[in-house]
Structure 1
Amino acid sequence: MSEDNSTLFNQSLEKGLAVLRAFDAHRRTMNLAEVAEAAGINKSSAQRMIHTLEQLGYVRKHPLTKRFQLTPRVMEIGYNYLAADTLVDVANPFLAELAQVTGETTNLTEPDGLEMVYVARFVAPKFIPIHMPIGSRIPMYCTGSGRAYLSALMDTQIDTLLGASDLKRHTLHTLTSMDEIRAQIEATRRQGYATNKEELFLGDMTIAAPILGSQGLPVAAVHVVAPTSRWTLEEAERKLAPAVIECARAIRTSIRTL
């Protein structure tokens, strides 16, 4: 729970959101005690939050197991963000064109804390090793889109974000050394695109470029998925990187005209 002591801060709302966020792929259903533990609140608070959310239609209780689960109404909140996000509207035609030109899946991610969040995606008909639906989150430090975004920040900002990240090893290829990650970010600055080769998921490789806003600061990143079953890193850099860079530039230009 937050340590904000402001009189304007609503702790009940914070607890309610904590309950909603407690449900995930590992906790699809929970009983009251599990909800309290996952949300970091006491059982009495959990009971009030669950009851309220159930009455509002965001949570339901299974009639037989008596376990709670989210309802589709929760998706309304996320959809409203996407519907109001001008960047998504601007980027979609360029992502579609990039997917057609490359023949591969294209994605738009935006930063949130230490992670990048998928907000747009055009899936190619070809096989891709990992399914990443809208709303999926990936760490900045070991992904192409994350490094692309980081490359457009000031050094002090990069150090702060990397310093707060849990630099854990997801695969045998994950870079966890601060020096190695910074070297990748510096390379991204020089060449205009970032790469990730199986650092988060085996078989998954990406080429990414940052999208800069009207103030010249990064607001998102675009990346193409280049599965290792079809691409070598050298081929992906030679054939895909120019198209990814051009896509990011076109989105940036369109943002400026809004």
Structure 2
Amino acid sequence: MEPNESPLFVQALATGLGVLDAFTAERPTMNLKEISEAAGVTKSAAQRFTHTLVTLGLLRKDAASKRYSLSPRTLDTGYRYLQAHVLLERANPYLLDLNRQTGETVNLAERDGHEMVYIGRFPSPHRAVVHMPVGRRLPIFCSSAGRAFLSALPDEQIRHILTGVDRPRFTPHTITDVETLTSIIAKVRETGFAYSIEEFYLSDLAFAVPVYNIRGEAVAAVNLSVSTAYWSFERAVAELVPKLIHTARMISTTPPTFRAMEPFQIGYGKVRDVPYDKP
């Protein structure tokens, strides 16, 4: 039985949330006709839902244009989620420490379906490759955080996820072939870290390491993002990745055993072992 076929499922609530979800960066404001089309409801239903949502303070209506937009109150649920997030609270001091040591952008991401959601972020004080606010979602198949998370899953589950998700080419460098992706993810288990080179954003070089819970299950990934204008892959692996691995280990309740930072061949040349000494 599908979830929406259960007698416990409240369709009206789901539709109301669908109206809120219809507002996006591409559709920041809409009139009733546009809302009905975007949410897949009749215009009269859109009128009832928007009236209710305005009354609850979740939508705002411009008196002159009659157009609707999300209100700041829609942030409340997400804010409470972050406030109550035990892992994020545990991770924040370590993320900040890594950010200060490297001077580069550090994130914490967790999986939601076929995407990785950034729930913690400390941007570089010097430069930012892209604007990535908390709550931003990246595809699991082409992001370093997604590949780090996938590396902790069984091979069959990895393949099931990769074949079941859309894999568009966001840049000329995006890898979409399932076999290649599977091989890349398998390599993460040997090296201890995942990477992505300009696969979602141009000029973005990103690394990530999985974070584990007490049962040894991946629950998130620590991500470090730098600009290809300032960092080569080899230099970043030598100078930044050991610190990133150390940070993920400190956040994890019980880190797994892997041969982190042993010499290995990755297709970009031999990377030597660089131990991490915390200052």
TM-score relative to the length of structure 1: 0.95
Deviation of residue 77 (structure 1)? 0.9
Local SS of the residue matching 2:29 = coil
Letter of the 1:188 counterpart? V
The 5 A counterparts of 1:168-183 are: 168-183=168-183
Aligned pairs (5 A) from 1:58-207: 58-207=58-207
More helix by share: 1
- Alignment partner, residue 272 of structure 2: none
Which residue of structure 2 lines up, in the alignment, with residue 210 of structure 1?
Answer: 210
* Cα distance between partner residues in 1 of 2:169 and 2:222: 24
Deviation at 1:159, TM superposition (A): 1.5
- Aligned to 1:4, the other structure's residue is in SS state helix
Q: Deviations over 1:52-108 (max 9, x none)?
A: 101000001111111100000000011011011101100000001111121111000
CA contact (8 A) 2:214 2:254 kept: no
Quote the Cα distance in structure 1 between the aligned partners of 2:3 and 2:203. Answer: 41
Unaligned ranges ≥5, structure 2? 256-279
Looking at structure 2, the residues matched to 157 and 42 of structure 1 have their Cα atoms a distance apart, in angstroms, of 39
* SS at structure 1 position matched to 2:107: strand
CA distance in 2, matches of 1:249, 1:40: 46
CA distance in 2, matches of 1:241, 1:40: 46
Contact 2:213 2:254 in 1 (8 A): no
User: Kindly tell me: are residues 85 and 254 of structure 1, through their superposed partners in 2, closer, same or farther at Cα, counting changes over 3 Å?
Assistant: farther
Q: Which has the larger radius of gyration?
A: 2
Alpha-carbon contact 1:90-1:254 (below 8 Å) kept: no
Q: Which residue of structure 2 lines up, in the alignment, with residue 35 of structure 1?
A: 35
RMSD: 1.4
Distance 1:95 1:165, change over 3 A: same
Amino acid in structure 2 at the alignment position of 1:140:
I
Check if 1:57 corresponds to 2:71: no
Name the structure 2 match of 1:45. Answer: 45
Q: d(CA) in 1 for partners of 2:58 and 2:4?
A: 26
Distance 1:40 1:254 in 2: 46
Identity %: 46
Per the normalisation by structure 2, the TM-score is 0.88
Q: What's the offset of the Cα at 1:254?
A: 8.0
Which amino acid letter does the alignment assign opposite residue 218 of structure 1? A
Q: In structure 2, give the amino acid aligned to 1:137.
A: R
The 1-side partners of 2:72 and 2:122 are apart by: 23
Larger relative contact order (CA 8 Å, sep ≥ 6):
1
CA apart distance, 1:45 = 2.2
State the shift of 1:31 in Å. 0.9
- 4+ aligned runs moved over 3 Å, structure 1: none
Write the deviation string for residues 176-201 of structure 1: whole angstroms up to 9, x where unpaired. 10011111101111100000100000
Note if contact 2:99-2:122 (Cα within 8 Å) is conserved in structure 1: yes
Amino acid at match of 1:187: K
Task: Name the SS for the 2:253 alignment partner.
Answer: helix
* 1:162 Cα offset (Å): 1.0
